[in-house]
Amino acid sequence: MTFKKLTGLILIAALSLTIFSCKSSNEAPEAEEKKGATWRYAHEEFEGDVQDVYAHKFKEYIEQNSNHTLQIFRFGELGESDDIMEQTQAGILNFVNQSPGFTGSLIPEAQIFFIPYLMPTGDEDVIRFFRTSVAINEMFSELYAEQGLELLSMYPEGEMVVTADTPVRSPEDFRGKNIRTMTNPLLAETYRAFGATPTPLPWGEVYGALQTNIIQGQENPIFWIQSGGLYEVSPNLTFTGHGWFTTALMANQNFFNGLSEEDQQLIRNAAAYAFDYITEYIPGLGDAMLEKILEAKKDVTVTRLTAEERQVFRDRAEQVEKRFIEMTGERGEKLLDQFKKDLENVMAGEV
């Protein structure tokens, strides 16, 4: 057992003891409400990364507008992504911020974000889509609720960029490469279509696997490539334009439903406040982080696919969309239809 895993188990035990103590307390409910509660929130990223920035804005609103406090746990402090989701569903954590890349095993329809070339590439277009999409803001809530989760917000973090041991411009360049993917069946389908061998790995193993050539590449937004130091062991960056990294904030539904209407609205307002902040924060972040990477390591290469090169990958993406519908059935097909309508409205300037 690793030190990080052991530390996480100790923290989980402490949190569980805190919950038990609160439930068995004889303190009057009125006094407890006046004093405020301590809520627990975990996310998947490091200090200063996008999810961490969002979490602290959420915390800021909660603590400035109530007597409650928010305790934030970053990546590794309570385990990997699967661990913090299990803890949220069990009620040990109140909130979890997790990508559909990991939630896809629970909610297959959430894999829609991994259909390549479905999303636009421009920052402002993507942000407008997340603000106005019927699919995101209305249809997803029911899907998350079926898993005991209250969906509070979905937001974009950045364009996905592939890093590899050699530059990539075509499916032929992917041939023979093990590309790390999240534990997401549709993402694996994407890299098969692109010509690579998808290799699911938890985040904690990625750097070492790149360093030892167990895998030859991976995908992430630029800020994550920079903060995780992935460019040090995988120095060839390719902007394929195939998608954006998306994440979602959820609450344990039993916890949320047990709150007063005032606290429920407080949480919704905090999620909206953090969303507004993060959508102002994201534009330009990728360029700034890429500049840091290029300053830190001079042999990093940057490849931006031409329209013709992208089209080769786009043609292969059609089979991924078909696979999504096979995985999710009629419900997934309806979601995809609405998703496309929402995107058409954005690109036509109608919202």
With respect to residue 303, please indicate whether it lies within any of the assigned structural domains: yes
Identify the pLDDT of residue 15. 58
Q: Shortest CA distance to 305 belongs to which of 241, 243, 245? A: 241
With respect to residue 276, please indicate whether it lies within any of the assigned structural domains: yes
Q: Rounded to whole angstroms, what are the CA distances from 89 to 78, 82, 86, 174, 335? A: 14, 11, 5, 38, 24
Q: Which residues contact 2 (CB under 8 A, 6 or more apart)?
A: none
**pTM of the entire predicted model:** 0.89
With respect to residue 195, please indicate whether it lies within any of the assigned structural domains: yes
> What Rg value do the Cα atoms of the chain yield, rounded?
21
With respect to residue 129, please indicate whether it lies within any of the assigned structural domains: yes
Say which CATH number the domain at 67 has. Answer: 3.40.190.170
With respect to residue 105, please indicate whether it lies within any of the assigned structural domains: yes
Tokens (6 digits) for 100: 């559909």
Per-residue pLDDT of the chain (351 residues; tens, 9 = 90+): 443 444 455 555 555 544 444 444 444 444 444 689 999 999 999 999 999 999 999 999 999 999 999 999 999 999 988 899 999 999 999 999 999 877 877 899 999 999 999 998 899 999 999 999 999 999 999 999 999 999 999 999 999 999 999 999 999 999 999 999 988 889 999 999 999 999 999 888 999 999 999 999 999 999 999 999 999 999 999 999 999 999 999 999 999 999 999 999 999 999 999 999 999 999 999 999 999 999 999 999 999 999 999 999 999 999 999 999 999 999 999 999 999 999 999 999 877
Identify the pLDDT of residue 104. 76
**Would you give the distance in Å from CA 176 to the centre of its chain?**
28
Q: Is the distance from CB of 264 to CB of 62 less than 8 angstroms?
A: no
CA distance 8 to 264: 29
With respect to residue 57, please indicate whether it lies within any of the assigned structural domains: yes
Find the domain containing 164 and state its range: 3-8+36-347
Task: Give the count of domains, the chain.
Answer: 1
With respect to residue 87, please indicate whether it lies within any of the assigned structural domains: yes
With respect to residue 154, please indicate whether it lies within any of the assigned structural domains: yes
